[in-house]
Amino acid sequence: TQLLEQSPQFLSIQEGENLTVYCNSSSVFSSLQWYRQEPGEGPVLLVTVVTGGEVKKLKRLTFQFGDARKDSSLHITAAQPGDTGLYLCAGLPSGSWGKLQFGAGTQVVVTP
């Protein structure tokens, strides 16, 4: 059973559209991270959020950590083909030292 549930599993949109990816859990997390993975490569960190209610922006990407630290969202404004990839959320459950949990990922495809 996945501790972190991501939705949707797959998202296909046109260039210029907006999209939101969700990462939900019934457990509390000390921190949550978002990674992007491209084919043939390992995931690369986009952002880390640690405080409930925190919002971080990275150019056209906006990340939010839920007030209760059980969920997070990633919003992309005016998506570009370069945003295509597998987006993974990862978290450290509250009370855990080293056992990181990953979601199953959301495959995003942005077509020109």
Partner 1 sequence: EAQVTQNPRYLITVTGKKLTVTCSQNMNHEYMSWYRQDPGLGLRQIYYSMNVEVTDKGDVPEGYKVSRKEKRNFPLILESPSPNQTSLYFCASSSVGPSYPAGQPQHFGDGTRLSIL
Residue with the two structure tokens 């919003």: 75
Q: Does 13 bind partner 1 (CB under 8 A)?
A: no
Among 55, 58, 68, 100, binds partner 1 (CB under 8 A): 100
From CA 34, how far away is CA 43, in angstroms rounded?
A: 9
Q: Does 7 bind partner 1 (CB under 8 A)?
A: no
Q: What are the structure tokens assigned to 59, written together?
A: 């150019």
Nearest-approach distance from CB 89 to partner 1, in angstroms: 9
Sign, CA dihedral 11-40-105-19, equals negative
CA atoms within 13 A on the CB side of 94: 11
Say whether the peptide bond before residue 39 is cis (omega within 30 degrees of 0). Answer: no
Nearest-approach distance from CB 93 to partner 1, in angstroms: 10
Q: Which of residues 17-56 bind partner 1 (CB under 8 A)?
A: 30-33, 35, 40-45, 48-50
**Which residues sit at the interface with partner 1, rule CB under 8 A?**
2, 6, 9, 30-33, 35, 40-45, 48-50, 88, 90, 92, 96-105
